Chains A and B, each alone.
Chain A
Amino acid sequence: MAGQTLDFPNAESLKRLASSENGFIFDPVTGNSFTVNHTGRAILHLLQQTLDVEHITRRLQAEFDVDAQRAERDVIEFAGQLRGHF
């Protein structure tokens, strides 16, 4: 997975998303909104900094005390859900 990037929406689209504490996400360009859970919000914040899956997985492991496989699966699943919003 080193340096791997999944098929996320482009970095510019992700960076412009505004998120609230309770997981409400708003895209100011498209006007679309959606909700994410605590883990999703954490992944989104990481994605707004980098699209490197390995880096995101390591950070998730540290923050949520989960194994690498589970963290990676969450990131891949989240990438799939995000694509549906762009």
Chain B
Amino acid sequence: MKPQALTVAVTGMNALPDNPGPGLGVARCLKEAYGEAVRIVGLGYDALDPGLYLGQYCDRAYLLAYPLNGTEVLLERLAEIHALERIDVLIPCLDAELPLMIGLADTLAGLGVKTFLPSAGQFERRAKASLPTLAQAAGVTYPEVKALASAQFFRDCEQDGWTYPLVVKGVFYDAKIAANAAQAEAAFGDIAAEWGLPVLAQRFVAGEEYNLAGVGDGQGNLLGEVMMKKRAVTSKGKAWAGVATADDSLAELARKLVAELQWKGPLEVEVMRDAKGNYQLIEINPRFPAWIYLSHGVGRNLPTLLLELALGRPAPAMAAPRPGTMFIRHALETIVPMSLFQTLIMQGQCIPEPAQAQPSAEIRQPIKEAL
């Protein structure tokens, strides 16, 4: 008799080309590690989230209400889905939903849904506006940041010792480099309209960006770190191609942060490296990054590590870092029957079709016969 598959619910299936959510990468890591021993329940906020239609990585697809509808609506929906799917572990992958998910972690555990998430306090300490305080406590270098409620700052900031270019950032997402006050004010307007206030101004750091993904065990230890440098980016600055790197000084910086936070769960540390090899912390994302499939590629499958920890099992052994391994994304069309799209819209759920690579009837006959 086949053992029952483990059911893992994953959010962030919005694998959009210019700014993909991490959910599909997480699902792919789990599928490739566990095969049929894991069932993926993909959770999305939009019926056009591409990951919800990829049957090879997503066994069942469900829509959720947007996080702004609040905790009660989210809990009610998750409970409905759990009643149908018996979710063993939930892996949230989007920043905006995490405060709600963290708040629901105990309730979900009571229902039998395990998570491996930071506390609300840990989550707040790594928020963009709190980073300078955290960096100082951890002994990590960080560029000065200012939380702004109005764009007036950009007109006078040079009198206060701020110089252009500087970086204008949203509280959750988005960052734009502004070369002058006019660009900064425009960026402030765009970001405030999309992500609300405050908007953050950060001093510009010259150098190259590096990212580190890992899992905090909740006891101050960083597990399975994977480092990456972007080699090509989308119009939104997201990695389109990247190469795995290995630098113990970057790993040490991340270890300091995880130890200071006692971080529990996945995270991504974003840094700038200057010409002398010194790192400055730019951001800490409280989730896996969209490029997480690279972790599988270098033998350090981080979603698998997280799943084992969530299940209360020991952390699996990780391979040694494998710098030089690359990833390159590509855009791919999935053929979706209208009936499937309609089912997801009308019923909020669907069963994605397994991947098919069959030729159409028109070209199935041998080419020579057609000549």
Contacts and interface: CB of A to CB of B under 8 A. Distances in A.
Interface of A: 18, 26, 28-33, 86
Given A29-B245, A30-B273, A18 B324 contact: yes
B324 A30 contact: no
Given A31-B229, A31-B243, A31-B245, A26 B273 contact: no
A30 B247 CA distance: 8
29 contacts: A18-B324, A26-B323, A26-B324, A28-B246, A28-B247, A28-B323, A28-B324, A29-B245, A29-B246, A29-B247, A29-B277, A29-B323, A30-B208, A30-B229, A30-B245, A30-B247, A30-B273, A31-B210, A31-B228, A31-B229, A31-B231, A31-B242, A31-B243, A31-B244, A31-B245, A31-B323, A32-B229, A33-B243, A86-B275
Interface centre among A31, A32, A33 (most CB of B within 10 A): A31
Contacts of B245: 28-31
Given A28-B245, A30-B245, 16 more contacts: A26-B324, A28-B247, A28-B323, A29-B245, A29-B246, A29-B247, A29-B277, A30-B247, A30-B273, A31-B210, A31-B228, A31-B231, A31-B242, A31-B323, A32-B229, A86-B275
Contacts of B242: 31
A81 B242 CA distance: 24
Secondary structure class of chain A's binding surface, majority of residues: loop
User: What's the dominant secondary structure at chain B's contact region?
Assistant: strand
Q: Which among B208, B210, B243, B273 has the greatest number of chain A C-beta atoms within 10 A? A: B243
Nearest to B231: A31
A30 B274 CA distance: 11
Contacts of A29: 245-247, 277, 323
A12 to B, nearest CB: 10
Contacts of B273: 30
The listed residue with most A CB atoms (<10 A of its CB), out of B245, B246, B275, is: B245
Contacts of B243: 31, 33
B248 to A, nearest CB: 9
A33 B275 CA distance: 16
Contacts of A31: 210, 228-229, 231, 242-245, 323
Contacts of B228: 31
Contacts of A32: 229
Interface in B201-228: 208, 210, 228
Nearest to B326: A31
Contacts of B244: 31
A31 B208 CA distance: 10
A8 B275 CA distance: 14
